[in-house]
Chain A
Amino acid sequence: MKLCEQVLLYAKGELNPAQKAAFEEHLKTCTACQGELKFLAKLEEGLVPPAAPQRAVDRLFARTTRKPALWRRFKTVWTATAAAAVVGVVVAISAFYPSAQPFSAAELVAYMNSSAEEEYTIFAEELTDMEIYFE
């Protein structure tokens, strides 16, 4: 390979030390290679790669490393399905019983209190029975 033919390899730093030294000696007197090197530097400057679109990178990660695991996707689908079913049942009941009124907050609290009172009474009676048994 002639020395002028090594200009691209020299510009890319791909010559071995002996070839490089020989080319640099040649470069001192070869105006064509000097001009070629100067232009190659300019070309490198003008070829700086633009950034890849961020949306492409985001989509890539969403399809690979940040893709939700199978069970998490299943859980999400299951939760959404269950929520939709509950809403559907409520809507259906409302449609069949248009006169039915939902519980008010006060009614709900009163029910819970009465229920708790009843449970306490049962528990106290059971405790009494146990005391009798151990005596």
Chain B
Amino acid sequence: MDPITIKQDDELVALFCSGDNRAFEELVLRYKNPLYQYISAMVKDEVAAEDIFQEVFISFFKHAKKYRPEGKFKAWLFLTARNKVLNYWRGEKNTLSLDQTDDDGNAFLQETVADDSRPVLDELSWQELQGAVRRAIDQLSPRQQEMIYLRQFLSFQEIADTVGRPLGTVLADCHRAVKKIRQLMEGQTIQGEEL
């Protein structure tokens, strides 16, 4: 195994700053998939997603020396991506906003969905499950979608720091999003069964 692949993010950043381009490429390979997933889910446009994806890493390539090694490289990367996504939306004069709120879920976790999940969810193949999850997430508000994608790769505290909202608000948003996905997926699978 190439020793560079087992190095911590901050070590790789330091190596890159000292002139080792392999360290930069390792960081790209390490985060390319989650970062691309997040960006493409947010902008819904393949060409724009690829451009933003490249811009995030090029920004790091040019300004790596400004990064402070605090073990938060991943959060820094997603924050940069988020800012570029917001710029894209502003440029597109898109009416969507990550700060818009949804109507449901007023009571945080008081409405925890009872354990009545239908067995059909368990019977979905992996591909079917991915499709069902994607369709359900597409129906969420942008803010909820962002929570779901960020939640995969960042801790809740890191998400709170990234989006600039209190931890409790982030947890509430995420819970509402998960709850809505569950309702939508169960609806989808029931519909699928009926068809």
Contacts and interface: CB of A to CB of B under 8 A. Distances in A.
Interface of A: 2, 4-5, 7-9, 12, 14, 31-36, 38-40, 42-53, 55-57, 59-61, 63-65
A77 B25 CA distance: 28
B151 A12 contact: yes
8 contacts: A5-B108, A5-B171, A9-B156, A35-B115, A45-B129, A46-B129, A48-B130, A60-B57
A110 B130 CA distance: 77
A12 B156 contact: yes
Contacts, number: 118
Given A5-B171, A52-B53, A35 B34 contact: no
Nearest to B31: A52
B94 interface: no
B76 to A, nearest CB: 17
Interface stretch (B2-10, B80-88, B173-181): B173-181
A52 B35 CA distance: 8
Interface in B28-73: 28-29, 32-37, 50, 53-54, 57-58, 61
B82 to A, nearest CB: 16
A38 B25 contact: no
Given A8-B156, A35-B113, A49-B37, A65 B21 contact: yes
B130 A46 contact: yes
Interface of B: 21-22, 24-25, 28-29, 32-37, 50, 53-54, 57-58, 61, 108-109, 112-117, 121-122, 126, 129-130, 132-134, 148-149, 151-152, 155-157, 171, 174-175, 178, 181-182
Contact of B54 (A39, A43, A47, A60): A60
A55 B53 CA distance: 11
A40 B178 contact: yes
Contacts of B115: 31-32, 34-36, 38
A50 B46 CA distance: 13
A5 B156 CA distance: 13
The residue among A12, A43, A46 with the most chain B CB atoms within 10 A of its own CB is A46
A63 B54 contact: yes
B171 A56 contact: no
A57 B133 contact: no
Nearest to A35: B115
A64 B33 contact: no
